[in-house]
Amino acid sequence: MAAPHRWRSRTIAQHVGEDEKLLGAVAPPIFQNTLFVQEDWDAFTRSAEALEGPPYLYSRLTNPTLQVAEKKIAALEGTESCKLLGSGMAAMSGAIMARVEAGSHVVCVDSVYGPTRKFLTDYLCRFGVETSYVVGEDPQEVFDACRPKTSLIFLESPSSLLYRLQDLGAIGSWARERGISTAIDSTYSTPLNQNPAAFGIDTVCHTVSKYLGGHSDVIGGAICCSAERMRGITFGEAELFGTVMSPFNAWLVNRSMRTLHLRVRAVAETADRVANWLRGRDEVARVFHVGLPDFPQAELRDRQMRGWGGLLTFEPRDQRVEWVRPFTEALRVYRLGVSWGGHESLVVPLEVQPMDWPEKRWIVRLYCGLEDPEDLLEDLEQAFAKVAAG
Ligand SMILES: *Cc1c(COP(=O)(O)O)cnc(C)c1O
């Protein structure tokens, strides 16, 4: 069980979970083994019940390499436990499954990650679980959507296309008083920029495939919560769906944790520059970026977040696909692709209609990576020029 750590986040990321140096190795080695053998009957019995090792039983439950990174993430997030899983979706679907039963009702934000919505609406309906969607910016709208059968409120703040926030403190305390569980997809923020558990949110989910992995070479997820909730997930969703992360991926995550603060700060600075530059362009109708001084939810942002990341989105003035397509294809440094949080800049064009928009609009999401910001600005400049030239 992780004791609350008095170290600051950068020190936690280097040292927590690494007290024991096997043969003096400063980089913890990979335990690439499926099972663990025990010296005696008692250890064998204890290994089967342990939420954390030693003793360890079997790597589908837990493994020493996973525990190194799990202890860091739990300490950064301020929760008793963290569990690394095979993907972000294993974290989202596992956290949801842990809090619903046949006939349950879920309240979820409309701006939630697409596959999470698909899981709630298209998959869980098979088991009689119903989901209501809300914009989520006004906590009262969330409360009003709850029913007697509501067992879970699922949040994503900020969301990952238009960066909408929910008031974590207001929703967390209201739900707790009524015995309704709360969970959040906090991938955008990483544990460095937001700690939802401090605001009363029960379960904090991350996609490790983004900033936590950080080099576009790991698919992974994490669930952070109390030890009691984690016991249910470890011997429930994680054990039974078999969604554990591989030791090699956990080793890569541990490597990545050491530079998390450097990477997130660098991409946020670049995104600030790009967002401000885009605001001065005639081709751009609106820029969405958490770091803008006039971000619509700036007061809430400053209350519950410590910073932001490298994502931003703009709405092109020319809404024809004949503009959006050649623009995204003209970019050279920003590559056309989903995902974000790695070293490389990315662009993804999408036609979206949030609940509170009267119509569909084309948006262009940019992820600013670790390249030189000058090269990114030049890339955007040449793409705007190329589309204008036809
Ligand atoms: C990528 C992403 C996920 C899913 O993560 P995977 O590791 O791809 O399963 C979930 N939520 C958000 C916000 C994401 O960006």
Query: Which residue out of 84, 87, 89 has the highest number of ligand 1 atoms within 8 Å of its CB and is therefore the one to mutate?
Result: 89
Query: What is the whole-number distance in angstroms between the Cα of residue 209 and the centre of ligand 1?
Result: 7
C-beta 218 within 6 A of ligand 1: no
Could you tell me the distance, in angstroms and rounded to a whole number, from the CA of residue 140 to the centre of ligand 1?
27
Kindly give the distance from the C-alpha atom of residue 106 to the centroid of ligand 1, in angstroms, as a whole number: 20
- Residue 68 sits in a domain of what CATH number? 3.40.640.10
Domain boundary among 235, 257, 279: 257
- Among 212, 239, 257, the domain boundary falls at 257
Cα(126)–Cα(334) distance, integer angstroms: 40
Q: Ligand 1 in contact with 190 (CB < 6 A)?
A: no
Parent domain of 285: 260-389
Atom 8 of ligand 1: nearest residue by CA position: 88
287, 313 contact by CB (below 8 A)? yes
Same domain, 101 and 188: yes
Picking from 116, 96, 91, 109, the residue whose alpha carbon sits closest to that of residue 145 is: 109
Task: Provide the domain count of the chain.
Answer: 2
* 327, amino acid identity: F
Residues 331 and 290 in one domain: yes
Contacts (Cβ under 8 Å, ≥6 apart) of 280: none
**pLDDT per residue of the chain (390 residues) written in tens, 0 to 9:** 445 568 999 999 999 999 999 999 999 999 999 999 999 999 999 998 888 999 999 999 999 999 999 999 999 999 999 999 999 999 999 999 999 999 999 999 999 999 999 999 999 999 999 999 999 999 999 999 999 999 999 999 999 999 999 999 999 999 999 999 999 999 999 999 999 999 999 999 999 999 999 999 999 999 999 999 999 999 999 999 999 999 999 999 999 999 999 999 999 999 999 999 999 999 999 999 999 999 999 999 999 999 999 999 999 999 999 999 999 999 999 999 999 999 999 999 999 999 999 999 999 999 999 999 999 999 999 999 999 998
Check: pTM over 0.85? Answer yes or no: yes
Query: Which residue, judged by its Cα, is nearest atom 6 of ligand 1?
Result: 88
What is the DSSP code string of 87-142? SHHHHHHHHHHTT--TT-EEEEETTS-HHHHHIIIIIGGGGT-EEEEE--SSHHHH
Is residue 5 domain-resident?
A: no
Give the β-pairing of 203-207 and 221-225.
antiparallel
The residue contributing the CA closest to ligand 1 atom 12 is: 113
Q: Does the Cβ of 186 fall within 6 Å of ligand 1?
A: no
Q: Is 221 in the pocket of ligand 1 (CB under 6 A)?
A: yes
Which of 233, 257, 281 is the C-terminal boundary of a domain? Answer: 257
264 in the same domain as 228 = no
